[in-house]
Structure 1
Amino acid sequence: MPHFKTVGLVMRPGSHHSDETLGQVLDILSRHEIDIILDERILAAEIGCISDGCDVSRLPRAALETLGRRCDMVIVIGGDGSMLGAARTLCLTGTPVLGINRGRVGFLTDISTADLELRLEEILSGTYVAEHRFLLDAFIMREGRVVSCAHALNDVVLHSGQVARMVEFTLFIDDQFVYRQRADGLIVATPTGSTAYALSAGGPMLHPSLEAMVLVPMFPHVLSNRPLVIGAASKVSLRIEHGPDPAPQLSCDGQTRLVLQPGDRIDIIRKPQRLVLLHPQSHDYFDSCRSKLGWSSSTQECP
């Protein structure tokens, strides 16, 4: 019996360069007699892909939420952006997610097309490493009630919405006053997101196993302001004091944007549900850092 009986496939719409990879995945799954459900955004006419063992046009399709409920695993073909979009939904059902990299960096989608067949065969047989990554919930409070909410695997970012314009905000951690700040914004990142936007803004890298968040100011008006690492169980609250016109914004994973008003409070907390991320047995976080961030690659054995 296969370790996974039903597998969902997700691919970014219009991603023509992933056709070949999709066909290869379909062939492997078909050989194992695994039931396949496609993300409803994948159109047979668009991808033009009919694999040797599977006619794409005949495969059932479903929304991402349904894939999470019906599948034992979901495979995301694309870059980290594709994974971020899928992860925010699939974490709600705890469905394991596997990423095949067709993007540029691929911290989350870490299986390369070069060894796709080998790694996918291993995972289908039950040989893999499962990681549980936490996400963030962001709630916008206005006049004492929640007016908007969004979720993020990488980061929640308060920003002015304009180039070279500042927003003034007050930061509280667990309802304790930290500081009042004028800056281009503030990045609140998970360990997963610490290697993304937060890293480019000068923040530290957090190992994925850590239960922590990092707060990284963006071009603060006070030079002594530095990134701050806090526990993941903490509640981060931001109160908008003054902002540019048009209004400042809150961005989640760079894919969801919410408009703010002076006086709004943003509460950011750890999400109860977690993303179950699958890796090959040979997965090595520091090897990923070396290859994707250009670290020294000389091999050294532990003394």
Structure 2
Amino acid sequence: MSNSPGSFDSLGDFRTIALIGKYQSLEIADALRDLVAFLQAQGREVLIEEGTAAAVGCHGCRTATFSRIGEQADLAIVVGGDGTMLNAARRLAAYAIPLAGVNQGRLGFMTDIASQSMLEGIASLLDGEFSPEQRFLLDARVMREGETLFSALALNDVVINKGDIGRMIEVEVRVDGEFIYILRADGMIIATPTGSTAYALSANGPILHPAVHGVALVPLCPHALSNRPITISDESRIEIQLLAQYDARIHFDGHEYFDARAGDLLQVQRSSHAITLMHPPGYSYFAMLREKLHWSGTPRH
């Protein structure tokens, strides 16, 4: 087995395949059972993530924790929506296992194998017809008086916001140690190119192509209209300090959060981990945007 992203070029690379699904979904349970039968008929070893197996009732299947999947699987197939993919990507990032997504959700920016043609798409992937694409993650930590209180990975974004209070918060923003501004707003989104089509997009942030080596800083409802979104290098270190008398909540991909106090420091930088998404034949990032964002018009010839 090779755990080097981008080096998947033979059928032997995908002998052990893990299946991860959204919990409590009858549609996904049926799809997972179809996938198990399809893969086993090809003589491949199949692992079902243990939470998925418990939720869909996949009795008699080999179950595995995320750590075991990371150690043993050559490929992980995620059946669900982008939220399911986000969770799997963060849990498996340290293992460099390629991920393929079957879209059973609403948008599917990352799960791009259509559910109605799932078996055909997976068959093409296993035959070597795929396009690997790397996406980087963010390392985030919350500091208090020099000590790390909380740390997490994020594939989409890190968001600091006002939490449950009904007023703005005030933070000091620095990039690579240089003071940028003091922001009075509902909060700030720090988004990767992957996350630029998620929460940041709804806050009027820029769409960043996955090949762009950048991170978007997107203020949420800033008091000063001149506080606009900005894209910085993905090599930058971002520091956001919560100023006195304000508390806030910090979210990591919408899956984890930490309640911060005045004076706490949020540090964010590019992680050493990356994930590899396996796209089906004919995949186009711009075609995906046209479909998901309902861009109109047809090309002129």
Q: What's the TM-score once normalised by structure 1's chain length?
A: 0.92
1:32 to 42, 46, 55: 42
Partner letter of residue 46 of structure 2? I
Moved more, 227-236 or 28-37: 28-37
Quick check: 2:242–2:264 contact (8 Å CA) kept in 1?
yes
Q: How does 1:235-246 map to 2 (within 5 A)?
A: 235-242=237-244, 244=246
Alpha-carbon separation, structure 2, partners of 1:176 and 1:126 = 47
Per-residue CA deviation, residues 73-101 of structure 1 (Å, 9 max, x unaligned), is 00010000000001011110000011100
**Structure 1 residue 109: Cα displacement:** 0.5
**Structure 1 residue 13: Cα displacement:** 1.9
Partner letter of residue 239 of structure 2? S
The alignment partner of 1:172 has SS state of strand
Aligned position for 1:264: 264
Quick check: 1:3–1:124 contact (8 Å CA) kept in 2?
no
1:213 aligns with 2:215: yes
Moved more, 59-68 or 148-157: 59-68
Quick check: 1:290–1:297 contact (8 Å CA) kept in 2?
no
Aligned position for 1:132: 134
Judged with a 3 Å threshold, the aligned counterparts in structure 2 of structure 1 residues 243 and 298 are, in CA distance, closer, same or farther, namely farther
Alpha-carbon separation, structure 1, partners of 2:266 and 2:224 = 22
Aligned position for 2:149: 147
1:275 aligns with 2:279: no
Unaligned runs of 5+ in 1: 49-55
The alignment partner of 1:57 has SS state of coil
Aligned position for 2:21: 11
**Structure 1 residue 243: Cα displacement:** 5.2
Aligned position for 2:169: 167
Aligned position for 1:197: 199
Alpha-carbon separation, structure 1, partners of 2:145 and 2:13 = 50
Aligned position for 2:72: 70
How many residue pairs were aligned? 291
**Structure 1 residue 137: Cα displacement:** 0.8
Per-residue CA deviation, residues 95-152 of structure 1 (Å, 9 max, x unaligned), is 0011100000000001111221221111011211001100001111111111111111
Quick check: 1:187–1:215 contact (8 Å CA) kept in 2?
yes
Alpha-carbon separation, structure 1, partners of 2:120 and 2:112 = 14
Alpha-carbon separation, structure 2, partners of 1:231 and 1:148 = 24
Moved more, 8-17 or 150-159: 8-17
**Structure 1 residue 159: Cα displacement:** 0.3
The alignment partner of 1:43 has SS state of helix
Aligned position for 1:47: 56
Partner letter of residue 53 of structure 2? L
Quick check: 1:191–1:210 contact (8 Å CA) kept in 2?
yes
1:58 to 47, 57, 60: 60
**Structure 1 residue 58: Cα displacement:** 1.7
Alpha-carbon separation, structure 2, partners of 1:124 and 1:6 = 11
Q: How does 1:183-194 map to 2 (within 5 A)?
A: 183-194=185-196
Quick check: 1:157–1:185 contact (8 Å CA) kept in 2?
yes
Quick check: 1:2–1:32 contact (8 Å CA) kept in 2?
no
Per-residue CA deviation, residues 232-290 of structure 1 (Å, 9 max, x unaligned), is 0000000100455xx31100111110110111111100000101111112111011111
Alpha-carbon separation, structure 2, partners of 1:131 and 1:65 = 23
Aligned position for 1:84: 86
Q: How does 1:215-230 map to 2 (within 5 A)?
A: 215-230=217-232
Unaligned runs of 5+ in 2: 1-10
Which aligned runs of 4 or more in structure 1 are off by greater than 2 angstroms? none
1:231 to 228, 233, 236: 233
Judged with a 3 Å threshold, the aligned counterparts in structure 2 of structure 1 residues 243 and 253 are, in CA distance, closer, same or farther, namely farther
Q: What's the TM-score once normalised by structure 2's chain length?
A: 0.93
Judged with a 3 Å threshold, the aligned counterparts in structure 2 of structure 1 residues 272 and 3 are, in CA distance, closer, same or farther, namely closer
Aligned position for 1:292: 292
Quick check: 2:99–2:277 contact (8 Å CA) kept in 1?
yes
Quick check: 2:16–2:44 contact (8 Å CA) kept in 1?
yes
